[in-house]
Amino acid sequence: MASLKDRIDGLRKTFEESAREIGDAKSLEELRTAFLGRKKGHVTLLFEDLRSVPPEDRREAGRLLNEFKSFVQARLRDLGEKAIPGAKYAAGRVTGTSSVTAGATVIHSDEDLTLPGRKRYVGAIHPLTIFEEKIERIFLAMGYTIEDGPEIETDYYNFGALNFPPHHPARDQWDTLFIKGDLLLRTHTSPVQVRVMERSRPPIRIICPGRVFRHETPDPTHLPMFLQVEGLVVDEGVTFAHLKGTLVHFLRALFGETVKVRFRPSFFPFTEPSAEVDIECLVCSGGDPGCRVCGGTGWKEILGSGMVHPRVLANVDIDPERYSGWAFGLGIDRTAMLAFGIPEMRYFYENDLRFLRQFGDL
């Protein structure tokens, strides 16, 4: 043990003597190799000798050696900072010796300069928000205002006031998630129409985006929770031509002037007449019989619409003899799928950053 201590002391002296000579990165690297070099470094060799130390002394010898190694490393770091101001020098394995000799950079032992840099990501707006805001801007430009309503609704606002008679089979079309008694999760944004008409008088021009809920089994185009935007116009002399003109304008502003749109007769208890609107499938353009979005039909239904049923107006004390209105409800997620060319609605909700990072402004 004594001899080990002596050897260490001797080496410490040698180290300090050489340290005085250090003037640049090159001599510093030579000193480092002399002591910590992997094959013939003094410290390395001392560690090799540890094997021949009797077991009962090995612990203490190891401690002394480690202490000396730390000393050498710390000194080299100091010397590095002095010899090359501003540089970090750690006395371990040095990668990229050429840049050390160039004198410009001294490399931290743990750094592997061949690794690519770590990119910092800035948060981004969710694709559904981007899309919803685009819809809002189109209607705001036409003088509509944005309204809001509760996600937990009563049977009356979700169904009754919208002209669904109690126990009418039309209710089955909306697979309702009931809460308790009269309360349910709204199945569409149409109850907001009723709330707005109750608290304001024509002329009314509103849209209402929001979450809706249905008892659905998830598939590529259905989820138990999704987004809709409702639209409502009530005034004197409002006709189906206004409905058609506005919706065509809206869809062209959203998808471009050349988008193909078709109106189909339909039925909703709260509108008469009613129409559903399809746009061409922008995922397969009608060319894929196995398309997961349109099922090969080439069309995708994106909204329901119609002239507000006189009974709905009467329910909120708006005189149907004097006023008429039109309304629509659009599936935001489904329409965004077409706009972005996404075959799976679930992608929007899984928060997979690889998916979310792909979206910029439309």
Binding mask 31-70 for ligand DAH (x = CB under 6 A): ----------------------------------------
CB of 324 to ligand DAH, least distance (A): 13
Q: Exactly one of 163, 246, 271, 335 binds ligand DAH (CB under 6 A); which one? A: 271
Among 80, 202, 209, 304, binds ligand DAH (CB under 6 A): 304
In Å, how far from its chain's centre is CA 66? 49
Report the residue number, 157 or 268, with the smaller CB distance to ligand DAH: 268
Residue 362 and residue 182: Cα distance in Å, rounded?
Answer: 41
Nearer to ligand DAH, 84 or 229 (CB): 229
Dihedral over Cα of 201, 202, 207, 212: its sign:
positive
Contact pick of 176, 316, 329, 345 for ligand DAH (by CB under 6 A): 329
How many residues of this chain bind ligand DAH (CB under 6 A)? Answer: 11
Whole-number minimum distance, CB 253 to ligand DAH, in Å?
19
* Strand, coil or helix: 19: helix
x/- site string to ligand DAH, residues 250 to 269, per CB under 6 A? ------------------x-
Q: For ligand DAH, which residue of 73, 158, 163, 305 counts as binding (CB under 6 A)?
A: 305
Between residues 209 and 306, which has the closer beta carbon with respect to ligand DAH?
Answer: 306
What minimum distance in Å lies between the beta carbon of 122 and ligand DAH?
A: 36
Interface stretch with ligand DAH, choices 64-72, 107-115, 327-335, 352-360 (CB under 6 A): 327-335
Shortest distance (Å) from residue 162 CB to ligand DAH: 8
The answer to the question of residue 306 lying near ligand DAH (CB under 6 A) is yes
3-class DSSP state of 359: coil
Task: For the segment 155-194, give every residue that binds ligand DAH (CB under 6 A).
Answer: 188, 190
**In this complex, which beta carbon is closest to ligand DAH, that of residue 139 or of residue 328?**
328
Q: Where are the alpha helices (DSSP H) in the chain?
A: 2-21, 25-36, 42-49, 55-83, 97-101, 127-141, 155-158, 190-199, 240-255, 310-315, 332-340, 353-356
Structure-token pair, residue 85:
């101001």
Which residues inside 200-239 make contact with ligand DAH, applying CB under 6 A? 230
> Structure tokens of 221?
């185009």
For residue 211, give both structure tokens: 């979450």
The span of 51-59, 93-101, 217-225, 321-329 binding ligand DAH (CB under 6 A) equals: 321-329
Residue type, 88: K
Instruction: Give CA–CA dist 99/113, Å, rounded.
Output: 11
Euclidean distance between CA atoms 289 and 298, whole angstroms: 8
Q: Decide whether 69 or 214 has the Cβ nearer to ligand DAH.
A: 214
Minimal distance in Å, beta carbon 197 to ligand DAH? 12
Indicate the helix (H) or strand (E) that contains 229.
strand 225-235
| Distance between CA atoms of residues 171 and 301, nearest Å | 20
Q: How many CB atoms lie within 10 A of CB 7?
A: 16
Instruction: Enumerate residues 6+ apart whose C-beta is below 8 A from 266.
Output: 274, 275, 276, 304, 306
The Cα–Cα gap between 315 and 190 comes to 14
- Give me the residues that bind ligand DAH (CB under 6 A), please: 188, 190, 230, 268, 271, 304-306, 327-329
